Amino acid sequence: MSRAMAKDYSPHVRVIPICPGDVDTPMLRGEFEQRGIDVQTGLQESAEGVPMKRVCDAQEVADLVLYAASDSVTFMTGYPLVVDGGSRA
């Protein structure tokens, strides 16, 4: 869909989806609590499946969004930026 949107709306709009893996947020922590899992245990278990062996921090996603919106990537459109610690590698 992002590639189709990039073709339809370029050159006026850049389409850069941000695709994070698990991000340490109140929502993720709440999910662990709802499932009866200790938050630290849940974060550790989530991190085990990530090659970088940790869960993403919300600031890392925000930094990537700022990068995507910057003039540093003015010729990029249609392909996602993945911030998942290598999970999809």
Residue-wise pLDDT for 21-73, tens only, equals 999 999 999 999 999 999 999 999 999 999 999 999 999 999 999 999 999 99
Q: How many CB atoms lie within 10 A of CB 18?
A: 14
Query: pTM to 2 decimals?
Result: 0.84
The set of long-range contacts for 8-15, using a CB threshold of 8 Å and a minimum separation of 24, is 10/77, 10/78, 13/77, 14/73, 14/74, 14/76, 14/77, 15/77, 15/78
**Taking the domain 2-83, which CATH number applies?**
3.40.50.720
Cα 79 to Cα 45: distance, rounded to the nearest angstrom? 29
Cis ω before 11 (30° cut-off from 0): yes
pLDDT(89) > 90: no
Q: Quick check: 55 and 20 in contact, CB under 8 A?
A: no
Q: Is 19 helix (H, G, I), strand (E, B) or coil?
A: strand
Sequence spans of domains, the chain: 2-83
Q: Give the pLDDT confidence score for residue 33 in this predicted structure.
A: 97
Amino acid letter, 30: G
